[in-house]
Amino acid sequence: MTENKTATARGTSLPISLKHSVEIANFIKGKSTEKAKKRLANVLAQKEAIPYKRYNHDLSHKPGKMAGGRYPLKAIEHFMELIESVEANARNKGLVGELKIITVIPNNAGKAWHYGRKRSRLMKNTCTKNKRF
């Protein structure tokens, strides 16, 4: 894949869980951007759940062809922004036609302290990189 035929977007230090990001990435990988946005909109409306295949300890069954699943609404909003950003980058590069998601890479971001009254704790942050062609 050459760089002039791909469009990328990066989200750094997003305030979402890495576990949610991994499951959403597996959910949208290999789909077109239109289909991914439609499926994520269904999850936002809680008509469809994200199937959790890796981080699925003590999850309840959801309707459909899945065992455990969740509705990670905040993480999905950030992924929708990334998809729209990649589509805008593709239009800016002059790529036309159906865009397909080929890679979604969620990684841990730097840890920041969330201060409390008695004790502090680390906030969840995630960096993601999306690539489409």
pLDDT of residue 57: 87
- 87-131, pLDDT tens digit by residue? 999 999 998 888 999 999 999 888 777 777 777 777 788 877 776
| Token pair listed for 78 | 């950030």
Average pLDDT over all residues of the chain: 88
Contact partners, residue 11, CB within 8 Å, separation at least 6: 78, 81, 82, 126, 127, 128, 129
Element (H, E) at 44: helix 33-44
| Token pair listed for 27 | 């959910």
CA distance 35 to 109: 28
How many Cα atoms sit within 13 Å of 69 on the Cβ side?
19
Q: What is the pTM of this model?
A: 0.87
Q: 127 pairs with which residues across the strands?
A: 107
Residue range 3-132, CATH number: 3.90.470.10
What is the rounded average pLDDT of the residues 73-100? 93
